[in-house]
Amino acid sequence: MHTATPSQRSRTAAPAFAEQYRRVRAVTTDLCRTLVPEDMVVQSMADASPAKWHLAHSSWFFENFLLVPQLRDYRVFEPGFNYLFNSYYHSVGGMHPRAERGLLSRPTVAEVMRYREHVDEHMLALIGQRAADPAFAALLTLGINHEQQHQELLLTDIKHVFAANPLQPAWRTLPAPPATRSSPLKYIACPGGLVQIGHDGQGFAFDNETPCHRVFLRAHALASRPVSNGEYLEFIRAGGYSTPALWLADGWDSRRRQGWERPLYWNAEMTAEFTLGGLRALDADAPVCHVSYYEADAFARWAGARLPTEAEWETLAAPQPLQGNLMDSGWFHPRSAPGDDAQQLFGDVWEWTASPYAAYPGYRPPPGALGEYNGKFMVNQLVLRGGSCATPLSHLRASYRNFFYPQQRWQFMGLRLARDA
């Protein structure tokens, strides 16, 4: 039997990896094509980062974790960038404070774009040399998926910047979704018993999706679709934001401290919401988005339901086709989708679950600096599932675990209800 030599494997693998790398990097740049430099340097809150920082940090990731250790005679573009664009990898070195990224007027946007070109040139050379090496391929795939995470963050961060501007500019002229009515909310009966969740090892996954393991579920039911704007509006009009008994104590404190009266980006009259395409009339049938875990939990309690666990969610979603209103659809906002079965499990909005972001049984973080990617955040956060209208399709799978703090709501966050049987 003929076995391919390393050079033969490299010639086969390199073009595919190079094309994947080019394609993903080009998407990030294209997301910024309607922005001017003034848009790209603003930081509207500590949780968000300027678009310029996302462009630089995703390049720094490739430079620091692939180019510097693996490309002979590589010279970094600018040594000071290791401090400016390191996010949270303490084992790599110091970092500029996250809340002060908006103070970095230099380097300029033009210089950051030259940095991306520099990294791309050397990355493509490295891919040509090392594509057949499984360890390199794994690092490259991680870097590509890391870039896709920052594509979604770039979109949600620029949306927050534009929403803070009294002119409420649009990021891009977006098509208006067709007017469709959502189906009546139904509950899908789900049997109890032992189920298997987590990534099965086929294809890429982040380390926090592993290991695959069994979980016992009690019989329950999950809603056929996410909660809609219209249903959430009923909660508001019924006094949902003024009834402490519906809220967790920390949630009520957050609501009072931050003055929440409605989802982020809704206008005071609750007739319109700010979108990446500018201010638009509120679609009562589209999934509600930009709500915190606390708001989602309060709504579920008001509705006589609860939020699903991530195991319940994954068990329902795993057999479903991986399709939906994702970034590739080009809507960049949640939209209604009628149907009687399980709907919109993928795309539209990340769905809050009741599960704390914690390690799966047997989890071990990867060795070295990349062990800081996920594992050290496994405390005080909640898991969200399913992707959003700003998530790339190729980046998503049923086992994907997103996580945020319960008070955060600037991502495309929504909810699906669950009930005990």
CATH of the domain at 40: 1.20.120
* Tens digits of residue pLDDT in 323-346: 999 999 999 999 998 877 889 999
Mean pLDDT of 91-116: 97
Domain region containing 220: 187-420
Residues 192 and 124 in one domain: no
Query: Residue 10: what pLDDT?
Result: 52
Q: Which of 163, 179, 199 lies at the terminal end of a domain, its last residue? A: 163
Q: Is the confidence at residue 403, as pLDDT, over 90?
A: yes
Q: How many domains does the chain have?
A: 2
List 190's β-bridge partners, or say none: 220
* Tens digits of residue pLDDT in 205-246: 999 999 999 999 999 999 999 999 999 999 999 999 999 999
Single-letter amino acid, residue 197: I
Residues 355 and 269 in one domain: yes
Q: Is the confidence at residue 115, as pLDDT, over 80?
A: yes
Core vs surface per residue 175-189: b (16+ CB within 10 A) or e: eebeeeebbebeeee
Task: Give the whole-angstrom CA distance, residue 254 versus residue 295.
Answer: 10
Query: Residue 2: what pLDDT?
Result: 45
Q: Are 416 and 308 in contact (CB under 8 A)?
A: yes
| Between residues 11 and 369, the one the model is more confident about | 369
Query: Residue 11: what pLDDT?
Result: 60
Going by their DSSP bridges, the two strands 278-281 and 272-275 should be labelled as antiparallel
pLDDT-based confidence at 180, cuts 50/70/90? confident
Residues 39 and 86 in one domain: yes
Report the CATH number at residue 321: 3.90.1580.10
Q: What is the pTM of this model?
A: 0.95
Task: Give the whole-angstrom CA distance, residue 227 versus residue 272.
Answer: 17
Report the percentage of the chain scoring pLDDT > 70: 97
Helix segments in 259-326, DSSP class H: 293-302, 310-317
Query: Residue 13: what pLDDT?
Result: 83
Q: Which of 128, 148, 163 lies at the terminal end of a domain, its last residue? A: 163
Q: Which of 129, 163, 197 lies at the terminal end of a domain, its last residue? A: 163
Query: Residue 172: what pLDDT?
Result: 97
| Long-range Cβ contacts of 302-305 (<8 Å, 24+ apart) | 302/235, 302/238, 302/240, 302/243, 302/246, 303/227, 303/231, 303/235, 303/417, 304/419, 305/223, 305/417, 305/418, 305/419
